Structure 1
Amino acid sequence: MNGKITRTNPVTMPAPVGNYTHITKIPRGAELFVTSGQIGVNAQGEIPAVLNEQVVHTFANIKTALESENLSSEHIIKVNIWATEQIDWDFFDVEWDKLFGKEYPAMTVGYLAELGLPEIKIEIEIWAASV
């Protein structure tokens, strides 16, 4: 096995319907990092009322969490996204691509009635690996 994270979309199955990869494989011996769900709280501790503003702050918080462990988006292997209202995918994908470029991790999206606090509209959990 090689010593790097690999991402594949098997030709025997339909292509992903979004910006993600069907399979992300980490090599044996990699160190695993799992974040708590990150939300759209800003540096002042405020949660904006608008989902897209929360998306911007959520990605900034993810980047800060990764950097605290000397990680970057290339280390992300899995993303779980939960939202309480319809995600504006055109806006979301622009922010997503700022973080990932075109090296997409595996991803799951779910819509829920509510998250931990009534004002939270989106929460994103990251799984990362360092090789």
Structure 2
Amino acid sequence: MSNRIFNPDGVPPPVGHYSHLAEVAPGRRVLHCAGQVGRDEDGSIPAAFRDQARLVWRRLEAILAANDMGLGDVVKIVIFMTDMAADIATLREVHAEVLGPDVKPASTGIGVTALALPELKLEIELVAAREG
């Protein structure tokens, strides 16, 4: 049995690239990934939100791959943004680009006043589940 991701009747459709509900099938291995930020291996942080978002997803994909998982195994995303009003449209574009049309995990976006470093604009944590 695979993970079930869907939007139940009686709930308005999602506004972005996500689903309202994700259910992990019994017996699946679950990975809880700490929040990842747009900081490169050398410690540099791109100024542009889009560049930070793409870097975050590269890091998340590497973490998933190191655990024999991929983006299709993601069931939940929590997104922290320092300027949601300015950057939400860009985030939706990057999510659609990275996740493709079929991967729409349950997601929550949270506006925050700051992240761990002042240059950071975005942090994403996720939960993934896979058989085995």
Report the TM-score when normalising by structure 2.
0.90
User: Could you say what secondary structure the match of 2:34 adopts?
Assistant: coil
Listed one character per residue, the Cα deviations across residues 25-49 of structure 1 (whole Å, up to 9, x for unaligned) are 1111111101110000123221122
Equivalenced residue count is 129
**What RMSD over aligned residues (CA atoms) do the two structures have, in Å?**
1.4
For residue 31 of structure 2, the aligned residue among 14, 30, 33 is 33
1:53 paired residue number: 51
Q: Which residue of 2 aligns with 1:130?
A: 130
* Consecutive unaligned residues in structure 1, runs of 5 or more: none
Q: Equivalent residues in 2 for 1:99-110 (5 A)?
A: 99-102=98-101, 103-110=103-110
Distance in 2 (alpha carbons) for counterparts of 1:50 and 1:19: 21
User: Which residue is 1:43 aligned to?
Assistant: 41
Amino acid at match of 1:116: A
Measure, in 2, the Cα distance between the counterparts of 1:13 and 1:115: 32
Rounded to whole Å, the distance in 1 between the matches of 2:26 and 2:38 is 34
Given that 2:19 and 2:104 are in contact with CA atoms closer than 8 Å, whether structure 1 keeps it comes out as yes
Shift in Å, 1:113: 0.7
User: What whole-Å deviation, never above 9, does each CA across 1:49-91 have from its counterpart, x for those lacking one?
Assistant: 2222211111111111111111111110100000111353343
| Letter of the structure 2 residue corresponding to residue 27 of structure 1 | A
Residue 12 of structure 1: how far off its partner (Å): 1.8
- What is the CA distance between 1:94 and its match in structure 2? 2.7
**Alpha-carbon distance between aligned partners in 2 of 1:6 and 1:70, rounded to the nearest angstrom:** 19
TM-score, structure 1 as length reference: 0.90
Whole-Å Cα distance in 2 between the matches of residues 98 and 126 of structure 1? 17
Alignment of 1:36-115 (within 5 A): 36-86=34-84, 87-102=86-101, 103-115=103-115
Q: Percent identity?
A: 28
1:12 to 7, 10, 14: 10
2:57 and 2:80 map into 1 onto residues whose CA distance is 14
Task: Detail structure 1 runs of 4+ shifted over 3 Å in the superposition.
Answer: none
Change beyond 3 A, Cα 1:20–1:36:
same
